[in-house]
Structure 1
Amino acid sequence: MDKKQIEDTIIELKDEYIQLQNNLEKLESINGNLAPLEKRLSEIEDELKILNVKLKEV
């Protein structure tokens, strides 16, 4: 993965994260099942950590 690909992936993950946060807020207001969204948010955070380390190495 080159620098541009890493940066693009980081941007996509950040966009997805923001969308999931908005969905999470909506689900909270109607007492929906939050577990899947919380799990995905955690996965995105882990992916972003890894990609930021790779970005520094490139």
Structure 2
Amino acid sequence: MTTKAELQQKLDELKSDYIRIQGDLDKLEFVKGRVSSAEEQLVRLEGEIAEVRKELEQYNN
């Protein structure tokens, strides 16, 4: 079983990845690059962040 600290660390890493990819996406849009891959990554990360948050909520209840 994953500990609360491990879940919090994973959530922090996912948020960091999300911010980095969002920045990449902004750059790609600026230079008219292909953004679909970055958008797909953001959607995947949003799902992972939601799952980790759900797991963390179990520790807070």
What TM-score does the superposition give when structure 2 sets the normalisation length? 0.91
Residue-by-residue CA offset, 1:1-40 (whole Å, 9 max, x unaligned): 1101100000000001001011100000111110110000
Match of 2:56 in 1: 55
What TM-score does the superposition give when structure 1 sets the normalisation length? 0.96
Match of 2:43 in 1: 42
Task: Return the alpha-carbon distance in structure 2 between the equivalents of residues 7 and 33 of structure 1.
Answer: 32
Post-superposition shift, 1:43?
0.4
Instruction: Note the residue ranges of structure 1 that are not aligned, 5 or more in a row.
Output: none
Instruction: Note the residue ranges of structure 2 that are not aligned, 5 or more in a row.
Output: none
Match of 1:3 in 2: 4
Match of 2:19 in 1: 18
Corresponding letter in the other structure for 2:15: K
Corresponding letter in the other structure for 1:55: L
> Identity of counterpart residues, as a percentage?
29
Q: CA RMSD in A?
A: 0.6
